[in-house]
Structures are given as structure tokens and as C-alpha cells.
Amino acid sequence: MSTVAQEIARFDLNLPLESSPTPPSSWYLREDVLECEKERLLLGHWQPVARRQQLQHAGSFVSGCFMEQPYVITRDQEGQLRAFYNVCRHHAALVTSGEGCAAHLTCPYHGWTYYLDGRLRKAPRLGAVKEFQREQYGLKPIQMELWGPWVWLNFSPSPNPLSAQLAPLSQRVPPESLDSLRYQYTRSYELNCNWKVYVDNYLDGGYHVEVAHQALAAQLDLDNYQTQVMAPLVLQTCDAGGSQQGDDFAERLAGGAVYAWLYPNWMFNRYGPVLDTNWVVPISAERCLTVFEYYFAAGCDEDFIRRSLEASHRVQLEDVEICESVQRGLRSRGYDVGRYAPSLEMGEYAFHHWLARDLQS
């Protein structure tokens, strides 16, 4: 069997879109490739792990785990937000779980207690310990930024600022303009496919829409589907089409749609009175989770929201079927690499290029 380095080297960064094959199947099948992706890109890029709304009140905290990194975000009594590794500095137990409101966080193992600003407050029965400075045993901080309604974390020590990375999106959709939207709903889907299969599907420049999403395609002007690559972002935009029939699509696509993807695993879809986002989280080489959040403008009535969520669910089920079919094909001996449609799949090519650059570095 080839080494992971050999497989990663198979994508030639020097080939232009028109001549380049896609990455080999092994990138979508091997756990050692996912392990490299985790170390070299997933933990080094910004992840929208919580909504600001969950941390409105002094004393609130939200905990979770991304790619085996447990985190906790806290708002202290002075209103300051902070993020930490949710790991006790004594013997590594997770300090807290879930979310809630607390004066301080107490480890359930030996009772070490931390202030919400991360400082160690109490370490019981350490009487004879030597060379122990309590101030050196606070929770370890994680890089955090705010953009839109989310709290973002980055698990590398000195990441590029998120606000700069999202600047082209902020120009098109100012993050302040999202403040008036109301959070409605989160829905997650577990898929039997590599996380990149799902991202590839999103970045094909609308190529699959008229074949795989016929109801949606009738509402879009696919001839005017545009893709702009602005590292580490890809912006896809599409005007509303002519059809006024069927479900909520005509209404929700008035004014066109902006589909933004932030490398490597976050999608932002703004259309009419709706915002939905999709966070793609790997579970294993051949499984991933996609987490959708839905936001609506204040004027939307319940019936519109219901129809909109149903329409989105239908499109997602169509994508799930496609992505799981692709994953089965990737396992076949009859497939190794594919090709790009140069006038449509420039976003997908950019993704693979950035991925290969990060993996080969």
C-alpha cells in the first residue's frame, strides 16, 4: 500500500484547471489522509462553533468538541467572552459539558475549580505540592473571533484574522445586516460520505442543480450562475429565474442568491428573507455531519418558514443521495481520478488546490 505522502503528492499543483485531474479516490477513503487534513487544515481554520445568542448573559457558557478538541466558551461577570480548551490542568478530565450559566466551572473528577476568565480558583488538597504556581494552571485559551451571529474558534496559536478572510463576503453581505434576522432552527444530517464529497458538490458552480434539483433549478437563472474565487473564499451568485409556481422558491429567491463557502468546511447561503448556513464536520474518512442553521427576516410568517424549511430539506435529501452515491463510486476499482468542467467548477478546483497546498506543505 502506498504511503499517505505518496497519495498526497499525486495532485499536481502546477496543472491548470483545464488540464488537471481531480484528487485521487484515496483522499476520500483513507483515515490517514483525514488525519493529515485535521492537523494541517481543519484545526488551523476558523470554525463557527456557537451562536452569540447562546452566550448573551453574564455567567453563560457553551461547551462542545471539534475534531477531538473539547472547548468551552464563557462570558464572565464583566461581559467578556473567552474560549478555552475544556480540559482540566490536573489530570485532563473534561471540566464541563453542555451549556448553561455558572459562577465558575468545577471539574467533576477532583474538584479543581476555574473562574469564567480561565484562572484556577481552587485546587483542593494540594498542601505539600512544590513549585506550583496557581496562575500557571488556568484553562488554556483558544483563539476566538466574532463574525455575524456566530462565535468562531481556531485551534492554531496564531491564525490569520477571520474578519480579513471574510472581507469579500462582508462587502457583499455586511455582517451587521444579519443582526435583524431571527434564528429559527438547527438541523443536522449524518452522511455516508467523506466531508470533501459534500464540499465538492457545493462548489460545482451549479453544474448539478438542473440535473439533481429540478424543482430548485426551475426557480434559478442558471445561465447567470457566477463563481468568484477570492482565497480563502468562493462566492457563487445566481439570479432568480422566471417560474413563479410550486413551493416557496420564487419568493425566497427574489433578488438573487449568494452562496459563499469559506475554506475548508463552512457554507453561507443568503437569499431573499432567508439565511442558512451549513457546517460540514468530518466524523471519519467515510462519514460526515452537516449542520444547517436557519435564520429568517422578522416579517416572515410561520407558513413561509415552514415551506422554506421543507424545501431546503428536500434539496438536502437530493444532495445526500448524490453524495452517498459518489462515495460508493469512489470505493470502486473502476474509478481513480476525474476531471473538471472548466467554465463551472473553478471553485472546486480552487478547493482542491488549497487542500493540496496545505497537505503537501
In the complex, least distance from residue 197 CB atom to Fe ion, rounded to whole angstroms = 12
Specify the stretch interacting with Fe ion by CB under 5 A; choose among 123-131, 218-226, 242-250, 312-320.
312-320
Q: Is 76 in the site for Fe ion (CB under 5 A)?
A: no
For Fe ion, the closer of residues 45 and 213 by Cβ is: 213
| CB-CB contact of 213 with 315 (8 Å) | yes
Binding mask 262-301 for Fe ion (x = CB under 5 A): ----------------------------------------
- The smaller minimum CB distance to Fe ion, of residues 319 and 358, is found at 319
Q: Which CB, 7 or 319, lies closer to Fe ion?
A: 319
Q: In whole angstroms, how close is the CB of 42 to Fe ion at the nearest point?
A: 23
- Count of chain residues binding Fe ion (CB under 5 A): 1
Name residues contacting Fe ion, limited to 174-233 (CB under 5 A): none
Judged by CB under 5 A, the stretch of 123-131, 155-163, 172-180, 319-327 that binds Fe ion is 319-327
The smaller minimum CB distance to Fe ion, of residues 47 and 278, is found at 278
Q: How far apart are CA 245 and CA 250, in angstroms?
A: 7
Among residues 319, 345, 348, 358, which is the contact residue for Fe ion, using CB under 5 A? 319
Q: How far is the CB of 155 from Fe ion (least distance, A)?
A: 29
Q: How far is the CB of 209 from Fe ion (least distance, A)?
A: 6
Q: Which among 217-225, 266-274, 313-321, 337-345 is the span making contact with Fe ion, rule CB under 5 A?
A: 313-321
* Piece in contact with Fe ion (CB under 5 A), picked from 60-68, 163-171, 182-190, 315-323: 315-323
Q: Which spans of this chain sit near Fe ion (rule: CB under 5 A)?
A: 319
